[in-house]
Structure 1
């Protein structure tokens, strides 16, 4: 497999990365071979920081959610002492799961098989017929729930890692932290919450295809033409003669973002006709508040500019016509499961929140303009891989120029980290872009993101 700098081969070349010629290709076997999927679980998911959940989902003591992370069932809980913890969802006795609901509030978790009971701090507190075990057979502390080796958060976004000696979460997030901060600046108090409920769905395609798709500006117009026609018809796209523009950025450690201007509405502070006249005064008042609080440049960046970001390996944060968190979980070489949540400022309630959620459903929801198109496109790709013929996907677009929003720098950034983890070759440079020259493709007040 080629390293991120195009050198060093230990396994078959799944990634061809030639920066001098401007050629970047990915072997389609990386998305069809079950052996690659199993290696990803060991080398990518077992050795990365992985998104687990948000503070607001476990706001009270005893609140929990059950999550699948890296193919493993996990319990994410705020214990009775107020501390946030994460445990493997497996009874130390005989292995049955001890948390059987997706979310709730609990004083304890009890295995339904033999009724061993654990408190919210993971300690074993109850064994039916304990007298049947010989003295010294085991200590309760040794049979408690197994915590994850590493658990940390950035601004209420909680991540876990199965790797005890992994770098700190702050170092791992690198330049992605700036874009999380931009999202959180929507709130006057800098606080966001995940709105109750989620969009769960599956797709008969390799999980890496949706990673690519989530930061792929090139597919937008041809695949989602219906949405663009709808926005144009509502008086949005092309208003004032302005067109979509922006560019992609590498943020280090495989993370990447496209940041771009678009004329569609943004619930934070950009009104559009499809939101209705009643929403306009409050949205415009919010924009004035942003300007007073953060300055003109920062306010315009938050209200007018969109961001699609991938945090390696499988977390997507979209700050577009709605703000969403999405995790992409591999199930097999040709199957993935997706969880998506709307995220909003904690202060947002009533009609403003309804407008935000309507924007979420309109484009990214199960019956929205985007999701059904993307499912069909990616399942079509998987079918095409199985049809044979061409061996490589091409991801070379814009490789020898300053990247535009419909170029593929952000995908190459992600694939370089993937190739490095899968083969053990160190990444020396995630980026391949020349210094920025076209200031129109950058938001106001922009400075080059620092990848590390």
Structure 2
């Protein structure tokens, strides 16, 4: 069966979406071509390849690619394939090499993918060994925003900053928390899979409705969750209000153009005490009191950049989403080091991420169970549509394409579905 563009558009309505979007393998294959290969996809952070010759291997849309740094400092994203007979060239996850050498016939490539050397080159006919075509081919578009590297299979993709739009503030807000405006992925990552569609994780990041039920086991007798951030004050969050309603249900969600979304902050106090005061003093020295107060405001819990990465500001970490199959998704959680901040700030962040977003954590494990139950439930016969109508009609237009949904509005999920509809129906 081949679905028409009109049919694909019809799967998204104003207040509900069709279950086929999550369970149909043919629709997933179309998503690869119409979404993942058309827009900007997050690849990795520049700090993964700090020195010339450094490389980091990953996948985009199931394609093996390499993030690398050239001797001139330029960042590259190239396909991990030899231009001769197609062998995978780099077999380790990370490393450093002046020349990337294929083990099959010894062809060598520079970090930007161009040919560096061919054994017995004279035996090839003249003109056959075109440097670019015979090399490790680069993706058509590569761009970095404040150290976050994105790439696109689409040579005609719009400029990255236009695609990110107002949602780029999530990257700014995370990076600005360093006294020198720089972050590093210095601690490795948690990497795991769940048996569910990639959109279930993406939607969950714009969902302030689920925590009261899904994460109820994480709430202490005092009505607060465990500590998530540094400092003696402001590192934990009240979970329920005096009337028994979950605090997260009252905070709000934002939907952005291009399918991006953000959740408002859960934290009700400014952080203070212990090493946090030392860190704050360093920020004031770097930025001044007014700017520091602005940077350290608890504006949002996270910023989700459609379709592949979530900036977890509350946990000072980054979540990467990779669609593997219609019912299989890979997740990576990268704790972030704030360069220039006291080391204990960053090492404590690793502990908090272990508590909240590792595969065996108190938070992410709840969500993964929910995702797998959703996937199994959506396979069953019954209602063909499910609702994303919470807060519909109550949105506030904040300008520049940003809609704020009070309380636990599903406006962020609706923004994601509109982007999905427009790309799939193009």
Q: TM over 0.5: same fold?
A: yes
Report the 3-state secondary structure (helix = DSSP H, G, I; strand = E; otherwise coil) of the residue aligned with 1:174: helix
Aligned residue pairs total: 398
Match of residue 422 from structure 1: 424
Alignment partner of 1:248 is 2:266: no
Aligned equivalent of 1:16, options 4, 7, 13: 13
Report the 3-state secondary structure (helix = DSSP H, G, I; strand = E; otherwise coil) of the residue aligned with 2:37: helix
- CA shift for structure 1 position 414: 1.0
What is the rounded CA distance, in whole Å, between the counterparts of 1:201 and 1:239 in structure 2?
28
Question: For 1:309-324, what aligned pairs fall within 5 Å after superposition?
Answer: 309-320=303-314, 322-324=315-317
- Shifted more, 346-355 versus 410-419: the winner is 346-355
- CA shift for structure 1 position 12: 6.5
Residues 317-372 of structure 1 show CA distances to partners (whole Å, capped at 9, x for unaligned) of 1111x111111111111111112211231113432222111111111122211111
- CA shift for structure 1 position 69: 1.2
What is the rounded CA distance, in whole Å, between the counterparts of 1:124 and 1:406 in structure 2?
54
What is the rounded CA distance, in whole Å, between the counterparts of 1:294 and 1:398 in structure 2?
39
- Contact (CA 8 Å) 1:239, 1:263: kept in 2 or not? no
Cα distance, 1:401–1:133 mapped onto 2, change above 3 Å: same
- Shifted more, 298-307 versus 366-375: the winner is 298-307
Aligned equivalent of 2:358, options 340, 344, 365: 365
- Contact (CA 8 Å) 1:27, 1:391: kept in 2 or not? yes
Match of residue 392 from structure 1: 385
Cα distance, 1:113–1:174 mapped onto 2, change above 3 Å: same
- CA shift for structure 1 position 10: 4.6
Unaligned runs of 5+ in 1: 1-7, 18-23, 272-279, 425-452
What is the rounded CA distance, in whole Å, between the counterparts of 2:257 and 2:240 in structure 1?
36
TM-score of the superposition, structure 1-length normalised?
0.82
What is the rounded CA distance, in whole Å, between the counterparts of 1:166 and 1:176 in structure 2?
17
Question: For 1:318-397, what aligned pairs fall within 5 Å after superposition?
Answer: 318-320=312-314, 322-397=315-390
- Shifted more, 223-232 versus 112-121: the winner is 223-232
Match of residue 412 from structure 1: 414
- Contact (CA 8 Å) 2:170, 2:302: kept in 1 or not? no
Match of residue 22 from structure 2: 31
Aligned equivalent of 2:277, options 276, 284, 294: 284
Residues 299-331 of structure 1 show CA distances to partners (whole Å, capped at 9, x for unaligned) of 2662544422111112111111x1111111111
- Contact (CA 8 Å) 1:262, 1:305: kept in 2 or not? no
- Shifted more, 224-233 versus 69-78: the winner is 224-233
Alignment partner of 1:47 is 2:48: no
TM-score of the superposition, structure 2-length normalised?
0.87
Match of residue 109 from structure 1: 100
Match of residue 271 from structure 2: 270
- Contact (CA 8 Å) 1:85, 1:121: kept in 2 or not? yes
Alignment partner of 1:200 is 2:191: yes
- Shifted more, 412-421 versus 116-125: the winner is 116-125
Residues 148-178 of structure 1 show CA distances to partners (whole Å, capped at 9, x for unaligned) of 1111111111111111111111111100122
- Contact (CA 8 Å) 2:219, 2:226: kept in 1 or not? no
Match of residue 186 from structure 1: 177
Match of residue 231 from structure 2: none
Question: For 1:283-302, what aligned pairs fall within 5 Å after superposition?
Answer: 283-287=276-280, 290=283, 293=287, 295=289, 299=293, 302=296
Aligned equivalent of 2:70, options 71, 74, 79: 79
What is the rounded CA distance, in whole Å, between the counterparts of 1:153 and 1:261 in structure 2?
30
Post-superposition, which runs of at least 4 consecutive aligned residues in structure 1 deviate over 6 A? Answer: 239-242
Alignment partner of 1:260 is 2:260: no
Match of residue 399 from structure 2: none
Report the 3-state secondary structure (helix = DSSP H, G, I; strand = E; otherwise coil) of the residue aligned with 1:9: helix
Cα distance, 1:137–1:184 mapped onto 2, change above 3 Å: closer
What is the rounded CA distance, in whole Å, between the counterparts of 2:226 and 2:100 in structure 1?
51
Match of residue 126 from structure 1: 117
Unaligned runs of 5+ in 2: 228-235, 396-404
Cα distance, 1:401–1:191 mapped onto 2, change above 3 Å: same
Cα distance, 1:76–1:413 mapped onto 2, change above 3 Å: same
